């Protein structure tokens, strides 16, 4: 008994590759011995190999079985050692899966996907951003970077978590920032001073722009006076924290129903939304695009940030135009499929 305990303890400490090699050799040698002991029973080495596998797996179909005394003794040997080896492998596999889950929950696993969205600093706004992204693109992969040590949404397979300092190169590397589609930096709610929150966000944005300047970066800014600093590091877009909420509250108070329209456009989960549509080669002017889209149930809204194109219907559409419409999802899908 002491011998078996020592052997099993040593094997548990072996690497997965070494255990796999030992089992492969054991199966091949066992199949060869079985065939040599009873060539008339198995007819071929492959049949002996098949019998060894079914015996070790405790399946035992009964289509092949040992008939000689030597063969039956060898079968008992397989029961004792073969099944034990296979159980060891199964245990190792289960341990490996459990370890991967533990590392995923702790945020130590690197992300290897592409075209994902990176969300930095976890809070309620980040949670809302996750919901909005998945409502917009259900198959999109999201990577959350935060300095906490636990996955905030472990039950969601599409959300990957990286634990660490978001401004550190190695942490951004784990999030595969080079292959990301976009990065959104939220203010760290654990910091009380607004200036310090913006300082940390600025440091993170600087790291992203230095490592992956091609990634579209959006940053939440706490103080308006810091906007110039973020423009200096070439952040693509920024959002003033609480600014949108304040403006929406004023509109709700002074213009009844106005806030409901804006709320619909802010979320893809309710009502019509804003979509970008490709420029059709048959559209020469904004008027052509406006009428063609209107006939399909969509309203032409803007070219990039220019909301005044409905006053420029006779002007030609520039080559670098990016047209945005207001419509429901079905209308947008119908337009883009043509």
For tokens 């996955």, what's the residue? 151
What pLDDT does residue 99 have?
80
What pLDDT does residue 7 have?
52
- Separation CA 30–CA 52 (nearest Å): 7
Number of neighbouring beta carbons within 10 Å of residue 165: 16
The domain 2-106: what is its CATH number? 1.10.287.70
Residue 105 vs residues 146, 156, 261, 285: alpha-carbon distances, Å: 12, 11, 39, 53
Written as tens digits, the pLDDT of the chain (338 aa) is 444 445 555 555 566 677 778 888 888 998 999 889 988 888 899 999 998 888 887 777 778 888 888 888 888 888 877 777 777 777 777 877 888 888 888 899 999 999 999 999 999 889 888 988 888 788 899 999 999 989 999 888 899 999 999 999 999 999 999 999 999 999 998 998 988 999 999 999 999 999 999 999 999 888 888 888 888 888 888 787 765 555 555 555 555 555 555 555 555 555 677 888 999 889 999 999 999 999 999 989 889 888 888 888 899 999 889 999 888 888 888 888 86
DSSP structural state of residue 218: E
- Separation CA 270–CA 300 (nearest Å): 19
- Separation CA 78–CA 194 (nearest Å): 69
Q: Give domain limits for the chain.
A: 2-106, 117-240, 272-337
Residue from 92, 78, 101 nearest 14 by CA: 92
- Separation CA 107–CA 150 (nearest Å): 7
What pLDDT does residue 170 have?
94
The domain 117-240: what is its CATH number? 3.40.50.720
Question: Is the CB of residue 118 less than 8 Å from the CB of residue 184?
Answer: yes
* Model confidence, pTM: 0.62
Buried-state track 271-286, b at ≥16 Cβ within 10 A, e below 16: ebbebebeeeeebeeb
What pLDDT does residue 11 have?
55
What pLDDT does residue 262 have?
58
What pLDDT does residue 210 have?
93
What pLDDT does residue 1 have?
43
- Separation CA 286–CA 70 (nearest Å): 90
């Amino acid at each position: 008994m002491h011998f078996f305990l020592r052997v099993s303890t040593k094997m548990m400490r072996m690497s997965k590759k070494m255990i796999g090699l030992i089992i492969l050799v054991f199966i091949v040698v066992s199949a060869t011995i079985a065939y040599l002991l009873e060539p008339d029973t198995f007819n071929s080495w492959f049949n002996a190999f098949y019998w060894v596998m079914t015996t070790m797996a405790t399946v035992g179909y009964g289509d092949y079985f040992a008939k000689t005394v030597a063969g039956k003794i060898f079968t008992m040997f397989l029961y004792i050692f073969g099944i034990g080896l296979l159980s060891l492998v199964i245990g190792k596999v289960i341990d490996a899966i459990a370890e991967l889950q533990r590392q995923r929950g702790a945020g130590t696993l690197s992300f290897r996907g592409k075209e994902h969205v990176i969300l930095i600093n976890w809070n309620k706004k980040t949670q809302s951003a996750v919901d909005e992204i998945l409502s917009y693109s259900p198959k999109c992969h999201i990577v959350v970077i935060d300095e906490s040590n636990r996955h905030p949404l472990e039950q969601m397979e599409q959300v990957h978590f990286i634990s660490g300092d978001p401004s550190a190169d190695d942490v951004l590397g784990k999030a595969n920032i080079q292959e990301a589609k976009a990065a959104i930096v939220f203010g760290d709610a654990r910091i009380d001073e607004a200036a310090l929150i913006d300082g940390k966000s600025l440091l993170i944005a600087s790291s992203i722009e230095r490592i992956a300047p091609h990634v579209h970066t959006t940053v939440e800014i706490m103080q308006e006076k810091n906007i110039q600093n973020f423009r200096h590091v070439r952040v693509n877009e920024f959002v003033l924290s609480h600014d949108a909420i304040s403006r929406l509250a004023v509109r709700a108070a002074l213009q009844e129903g106005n806030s409901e329209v804006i709320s619909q456009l802010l979320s893809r989960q309710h009502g019509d939304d804003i979509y970008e549509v490709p420029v059709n080669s048959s559209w020469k002017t904004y008027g052509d695009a406006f009428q063609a889209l209107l006939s399909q149930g969509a309203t032409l809204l803007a070219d990039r940030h220019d909301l005044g194109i409905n006053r420029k219907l006779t002007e030609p559409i520039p080559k670098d135009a990016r047209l945005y419409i207001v419509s429901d999802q079905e209308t947008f899908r119908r337009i883009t499929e043509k």
